[in-house]
Structure 1
Amino acid sequence: MIPEPFPPLLGGQALLINKVPMEHQKPTDDVLTAGTTTAAVELGSLAGCEFGIWEMSLGSMQDVEVDEIFVVIAGHGRVLIEPFNGHPARTAELLPGTIMRLETGMRTTWTITEPLRKAYFTPRLTPESTP
């Protein structure tokens, strides 16, 4: 079943981010732990960026990232970033209040020990900007 689109967040509208229902599905990325699921709800766009909520269940998966800034709202885990643009591999702890930037092409491994929910902001992809 394909989830219904969430209505866009309108000017002056407030939303309790931890109360937004999320419908989990098996991700298309490389899942390392059986049963790992993710969910996403797009809330709208602003100044050429899309913003929304993303959530991951317990488990591990790998991904190739796009440009993004996110803030962890709930949960706990870590993300390993493989060597990238001359920088060595590094790991970031993810807990409520963490803000992080990812860049297009980064290869990551997400290991989540408490279901993680984040608010994300990413440039709107167009056919010309798709890697």
Structure 2
Amino acid sequence: MNGAELVAALGLELKYEPVPADQVVAGAPQTGYATVDASDAGEIGVWEMTVGAMRDTEVSEVFVVLAGSATVEFVDPPHPPLQLVPGSVVKLDAGMQTVWTVHEPLRKIFIER
């Protein structure tokens, strides 16, 4: 982004790819994302996952859920599960092992550091 620029994050068209088979826990989830801005300080973008469940290893990020619902379970380190709904703000540390179960397509805006 340069100067003043508006991004309509809810309507942003994303290119989807199937989740790699070794990460799929249930269903046939797909993910898509678009970078909004990137610099040496990190990346800002929009990410979406379709209904299903997948394993992931997290990066250091803060995100805000824009639409959908999901449960994030923590495998390592153990932590109570998170119930994500629009308006949820979450901070994740790099290296956390998680399982994302998406109940309604989940769209978030993220800031990676």
Task: State the aligned residue count.
Answer: 112
Aligned partners of 1:11, 1:74: CA distance in 2, in Å?
Answer: 27
The answer for unaligned runs of 5 or more in structure 2 is none
Query: What SS class does the counterpart of residue 17 from structure 2 fall into?
Result: coil
Q: Does the 8 A contact of 1:82 with 1:90 survive in 2?
A: no
- The runs of at least 4 consecutive aligned structure 1 residues that moved more than 2 Å come to none
Structure 2 counterpart of 1:116, from 106, 110, 113: 106
Q: Which residue of 2 aligns with 1:5?
A: none
Q: Map 1:21-60 onto structure 2 (within 5 A).
A: 21-28=13-20, 30-45=23-38, 48-60=41-53
Question: Structure 2 length normalisation: TM-score?
Answer: 0.91
Q: 1:3-27: CA deviations, max 9, x gaps?
A: xxxxxx3321112111100111112
Structure 1 or 2: more strand by fraction: 2
Aligned partners of 1:77, 1:52: CA distance in 2, in Å?
Answer: 19
Q: Does the 8 A contact of 1:57 with 1:112 survive in 2?
A: yes
Q: Does the 8 A contact of 1:72 with 1:116 survive in 2?
A: yes
Aligned partners of 1:32, 1:55: CA distance in 2, in Å?
Answer: 17
Q: 1:50-99: CA deviations, max 9, x gaps?
A: 11001000000000111011000010111001241xxx431001111000
* Offset at residue 47 of structure 1 (A): 6.4
Q: Which residue of 1 aligns with 2:54?
A: 61
Q: Which residue of 2 aligns with 1:74?
A: 67
CA RMSD of aligned residues (A): 1.5
Aligned partners of 2:107, 2:75: CA distance in 1, in Å?
Answer: 22
Structure 1 counterpart of 2:93, from 83, 100, 103: 103
Q: Which residue of 1 aligns with 2:7?
A: 15
Q: Percent identical across equivalent pairs?
A: 32
The answer for unaligned runs of 5 or more in structure 1 is 1-8, 124-131
Letter in 2 for 1:116: L
